[in-house]
Structure 1
Amino acid sequence: MDKELLPPEVETLITGLWGRALHLAEMVLTPGWRQNQVLIILGLIGLSWLLRIVTSSWVQEWTRAREGWPKWRLRMMVQIRQRLSLIYFTFGAWAVYVVMQQITWPSRSYLIGIAATLSTAWLVIALLSRLVQNRTLRRLLTWASWIYATLYALELIDDVEGFLASLALQVGGLKLSALTAIKSLLLVSALLVAARLGTQAASRSLTDNDDISPSMRVLAIKAVQVVLYGLVLMIGIRALGFDLSGLALLSGAVGVGIGFGLQKVVSNLVSGIIILLDRSIKPGDVISLGDTFGWIDSLGARYVSVVTRDGKEYLIPNEDLITSQVVNWSHTNKFVRLDLHFGTSYGDDPHLVRRVAVEAAKGVKRVLSQPTPPVCHIVGFGDSSVDYVLRFWITDPSDGLTNIRGNVFLALWDAFKAEGISIPFPQREVRHLNDPSTALRTPGVEEGTR
């Protein structure tokens, strides 16, 4: 490519890099202290590689023997084991550099100092990057930090910054350069990591605070997330050079779009805030909404997660919980009353039936005996039985209602069988008439109940 076709900044950068490359080659090939430093660095690299081979298995066994260590320490030890060569080289380079600074001229250890600085920067960046959980973001920050540290150590940062600053895009009164874009991207990435760590720390602190209700904890965590990530967005926009006052018109247009196109989304968001503020529903509550019965697993910005007894997880929009009738079995307390209806024969003593039914219910594990013991009342005289209702209380509706009803019914069956109390059922008589003419005038089946 003809040099005249290249911008002056690019030509200057290429010329400078080529000159430094030739200078480095000359240092390596020319006998003297510079060549000796290069050979020392190569020797340290080989020694570090051998030390890693010798000690890697020992470090692995020592780590496995650490019982009771938290997971973050074990993960850190895995990262250290994977970078043993770099660690050995860093310590060796600094040791040689310090010794040579004391016994000879500083210029004779200049390259070793650069190598020690670079290896230290690479090691610190590699270890700190593990704090970023997002793989793409972690790689971006790692490579950008390595490149910056290398250019800084080689004293090329000014040349590269000048070149990137020359690659600019003029949009009205805004000049956006490649250098500004890269700095903004790195700044936003670092702030996102800091916001995530801050959110996690606030979440742990609020979760461990027993003085705050569960719903207020969720609201506080959501508020921290909105504030931190909102600050990241604002700082990123400012870092690019945009004037935030010019976004007033855009915000108005966005508001109109929200009003027409995102009504449901905004309604769910507002409903979620109302639920958190009035504390009508909180994690752990047992609710019924239509045919859905289960307990609240989590409260989200748009929906509430309800887990049923059969393992299904329903994501119910917050708006439905505000506008529909919701049965909260544990709103003020977890006491739940259940009613069982049954009947016994007219020949059985009702006083005995009531007493036996109450004692049978008390013998079931989840039924409360205090402060609200079971009671049994006569509710009517039926065609074939005396009708009763057995009322009892439980405090663990999340463990299921059908199973406790079944257990109480089974206890009633056993108790009635032991006391000779019968449970009647309708019986029918079928009468065959011999006269066909009579059969046509009268019903062929007469029903009676004993």
Structure 2
Amino acid sequence: MNPNEIPEILHAATRALGAEVTSPWFLLQLGLILAGAGIAFGAGAVVRSRIDMTSLAMGWPAPLRLFMRVLVGSAPTAVFAALMMLTRVAMVTSTWPSRSYLLVIAAKLAFAWLIIRLVTSVMRNTFIVRLVSLSAWLMVALSILGQLEPVIEGLDSVSIVLGGLRLTPLLLIKLGVLLVVALWLSNIASNFAESRITRSTDLTPSIQVLLVKMIRLALMIFAVAAVMSAVGINLSVLAIFSGAAGVGIGFGLQKIVANFISGIILLADKSVKPGDLVTIGDSSGRISAMKTRYISVAAGDGREFLIPNEDLVTQKVTNWTYTDKNTLVKVNFSTNYEADPRLVCKLANEIAAAAPRAIKLKPPNCILVEFAEAGMRFALTFWIADPDGMDNVKSEVMLSLWETFKREGIRVPYPVREIRIRGGALPVETTVEVSS
């Protein structure tokens, strides 16, 4: 094509488009489309107000309930498509078919959107539903208008070559759409595998978490590789970027990689597992979840500590339930020198043995540890079956000790301070006010 002819072609196309837009039949079809849209909107509002999905779909399977909800929500689209087809039939019977082409396009676009929405109703991720729906409807719209092939050729004509890899807008669009769909499918498969693994009673919690993480990682890698092969990207071509990517990962993602490897180590050696009661630095609580980068420790007061996996490998960790959940509780207290120490130990042992959570097979033990300046110091130890609520148990035992000592006349010492003044009394200044 001669470049000098391009202005003439554009000018002719503009005149043809202007003549078509200003024709009476185009304006009539546009008015019918707008009227049909208004009627469809009103009909959809009536349908949604008259149908109660809660009572209608009660007891139905979840996918069928979702399908019906999408169908009722797409009622305006269905009504609009039906009106356009009926109007098209009426126009064909009364005039030339070429004078109702806009009605056909509007009806096909509406039907395409309705079918796409019903097909994507099985997806639960809202973002993926919108992405797939818009992408599919755009392709169908271009196909209906006869512009799909020119658009594909135009997107494929612009390219950038990087190390033998030819990148085009069409390739990137295909790669993005297929990658989203593949990752969505891999997520569904990994969730299904996780539900089966977590229901297995033969596997420990650590092995369950390890298997789930390995399956998720393997499925993700397989999905990415399959998509890249599907769009025609040779994975060996990407080897040119391996050196720079390796340096970037080494410096920029070293903490992420360290936490990931630490998480694998923790799951493999079973030093901590979901449900364990741990103390890490100033944070104490039960491990509620073990993620790829961190573990979640529930403190019991509504807080959750997110601790990197690397800290559990490099720092000191107290696991209260590593091999045995039985926990030794220690209560320190004092009495004055007027009390009988043997009677004090006997009363303390009886109180600890009567505690509801004390283990009966391991009797408590109370010993005299020191003759201190203020009184005698004792240490009472007893065992409970679970470290949960250890402070509450300790508090109940101390309250019982206080009540028993008060009843038996045993006093708990407290410091007494005496102030002695040498050299006589201190001078006292007095002020006398004289009023006139």
Which category describes the TM-score, using the shorter chain as reference length? 0.7 to 0.9
Number of the residue aligned with 1:226: 217
Of the three residues 13, 30, 50, the one matched with 1:58 is 50
Q: Do 2:335 and 2:413's aligned partners in 1 also have CA atoms closer than 8 Å?
A: yes
Cα gap change, 1:155 to 1:371, in 2 (>3 Å): farther
- Supply the distance in 2 between the matched residues of 1:39 and 1:267 (Cα, whole angstroms): 65
Instruction: Please state if 1:344 is matched with 2:335.
Output: yes
Shift of 1:91: 7.3
Cα gap change, 1:95 to 1:206, in 2 (>3 Å): farther
Q: Do 1:132 and 1:193's aligned partners in 2 also have CA atoms closer than 8 Å?
A: no
> Counterparts in 2 of 1:220-369, with a 5 A limit?
220-239=211-230, 241-259=232-250, 262-365=253-356, 367-369=357-359
Shift of 1:123: 1.9
Shift of 1:224: 2.5
3-state SS, counterpart of residue 125 of structure 2: coil
Instruction: Please state if 1:411 is matched with 2:400.
Output: yes
Of the three residues 202, 208, 211, the one matched with 2:202 is 211
Shift of 1:322: 1.0
Number of the residue aligned with 2:360: 370
Cα gap change, 1:48 to 1:309, in 2 (>3 Å): closer
- Supply the distance in 1 between the matched residues of 2:130 and 2:81 (Cα, whole angstroms): 22
Deviations 1:25-69 (A, max 9, x none): 99x67xxxxx9xx9999998676555424322121x342676688
Aligned amino acid, residue 387 of structure 2: P
Cα gap change, 1:68 to 1:373, in 2 (>3 Å): farther
Instruction: Please state if 1:388 is matched with 2:378.
Output: yes
Aligned amino acid, residue 344 of structure 1: T
Number of the residue aligned with 1:146: 137
Number of the residue aligned with 1:179: 170
Aligned amino acid, residue 146 of structure 1: W
- Supply the distance in 2 between the matched residues of 1:70 and 1:370 (Cα, whole angstroms): 51
Aligned amino acid, residue 275 of structure 1: L
- Supply the distance in 2 between the matched residues of 1:63 and 1:132 (Cα, whole angstroms): 19
3-state SS, counterpart of residue 397 of structure 1: coil
Cα gap change, 1:151 to 1:255, in 2 (>3 Å): closer
- Supply the distance in 1 between the matched residues of 2:190 and 2:82 (Cα, whole angstroms): 36
Shift of 1:144: 1.4
Shift of 1:341: 1.3
Shift of 1:395: 3.8
Number of the residue aligned with 1:197: 188
Q: Do 2:320 and 2:327's aligned partners in 1 also have CA atoms closer than 8 Å?
A: yes
- Supply the distance in 1 between the matched residues of 2:201 and 2:113 (Cα, whole angstroms): 43
Number of the residue aligned with 1:133: 125
Deviations 1:254-283 (A, max 9, x none): 334444554433322211110111111122
Q: Do 1:216 and 1:277's aligned partners in 2 also have CA atoms closer than 8 Å?
A: yes
Alignment identity in percent?
A: 35
Residue range with higher mean Cα deviation, 257-266 or 49-58: 257-266
Q: Do 1:129 and 1:142's aligned partners in 2 also have CA atoms closer than 8 Å?
A: no
Q: Do 1:63 and 1:74's aligned partners in 2 also have CA atoms closer than 8 Å?
A: no
- Supply the distance in 2 between the matched residues of 1:170 and 1:260 (Cα, whole angstroms): 28
3-state SS, counterpart of residue 279 of structure 2: strand
Cα gap change, 1:333 to 1:435, in 2 (>3 Å): same
Number of the residue aligned with 1:423: 412
Cα gap change, 1:290 to 1:50, in 2 (>3 Å): closer
Deviations 1:367-400 (A, max 9, x none): 324343433333344445443221123344344x
Shift of 1:73: 7.0
- Supply the distance in 2 between the matched residues of 1:42 and 1:416 (Cα, whole angstroms): 90
Q: TM-score, normalised by structure 2?
A: 0.75
Aligned amino acid, residue 403 of structure 1: N
Cα gap change, 1:157 to 1:318, in 2 (>3 Å): same
Q: Do 1:93 and 1:115's aligned partners in 2 also have CA atoms closer than 8 Å?
A: yes
- Supply the distance in 1 between the matched residues of 2:22 and 2:163 (Cα, whole angstroms): 46
Deviations 1:216-254 (A, max 9, x none): 232222223322322333344445543321333432443
- Structure 2's unaligned 5+ residue stretches are 89-100, 426-436
Q: Do 1:126 and 1:142's aligned partners in 2 also have CA atoms closer than 8 Å?
A: yes
Shift of 1:425: 3.6
Number of the residue aligned with 1:402: 391
Shift of 1:22: 9.8
Q: TM-score, normalised by structure 1?
A: 0.73
Aligned amino acid, residue 376 of structure 1: C
> Counterparts in 2 of 1:426-437, with a 5 A limit?
426-427=415-416, 429-433=418-422
> Counterparts in 2 of 1:59-78, with a 5 A limit?
59=51, 61-63=52-54, 78=69
| CA RMSD, 1 decimal | 4.7
Of the three residues 117, 137, 157, the one matched with 2:148 is 157
Q: Do 2:359 and 2:384's aligned partners in 1 also have CA atoms closer than 8 Å?
A: no
- Structure 1's unaligned 5+ residue stretches are 30-34, 98-109, 437-450
